[in-house]
Homo-oligomer: A and B are copies of this chain.
């Protein structure tokens, strides 16, 4: 017997899959209901509206990224390795999640406020994770950073900048090349004085 939250999660996963094909507008509640093997009204028992399901999917996407980043962090041992793993895990996870963002391209503007809200929240968390890595590296003697807080913001900002072309379905093939560049910047810097 599944409890309420488990059913909700199942529905969210099903919806995530469907939204990833043709976006928000072109997905119907009937589709979600059928794919969830439920009556439409049952879906409405768990979620108040299509919008609410959509928002749950967006949160799910964000939490998947977060989970992958935490996993990468735990697997790596040294701070330098953590940094590298973070960058790689982030980009490869975003590559997977890109389906969804690419599909909701047309619906993006009408959900901008919510999506930005979620992303800002998770950005803060990512910056915090990054700063922890950097602080550990400094204590470790592996890194030499003046302002870890600013550096964390700089790195996460750069990573966010890199992910966007992914969403719009361009230049995916260039991902590895871009990653090399980013890691090169982070590890060797570009201009040393």
Contact = CB atoms under 8 A, between A and B. Distances in A.
Interface residues of A, number: 36
Contacts of A190: 145, 151, 154-155, 185-186, 189
Contact of A162 (B142, B161, B187): B161
B144 A158 contact: no
A192 B191 contact: no
A193 B79 CA distance: 12
A158 B153 CA distance: 15
Interface in A107-146: 112, 116, 134, 137, 142-146
Interface string A56-84: 00000000000000000000000010010
Nearest to A163: B161
A188 B146 contact: yes
A158 B186 contact: no
A137 B187 contact: no
Which of A83, A164, A165, A185 has the largest count of B CB atoms less than 10 A from its CB?
A185
Nearest to A150: B184
A37 interface: no
A83 B192 CA distance: 13
A181 B154 contact: yes
Contacts of A96: none
Interface of A: 80, 83, 112, 116, 134, 137, 142-146, 150-151, 153-155, 157-158, 161-162, 164-165, 170, 178, 181-182, 184-193
23 contacts: A143-B192, A143-B193, A144-B193, A145-B191, A145-B192, A151-B184, A151-B190, A151-B191, A154-B182, A154-B184, A157-B178, A157-B181, A158-B162, A158-B181, A158-B182, A161-B161, A161-B164, A161-B165, A185-B185, A186-B190, A186-B191, A187-B193, A189-B190
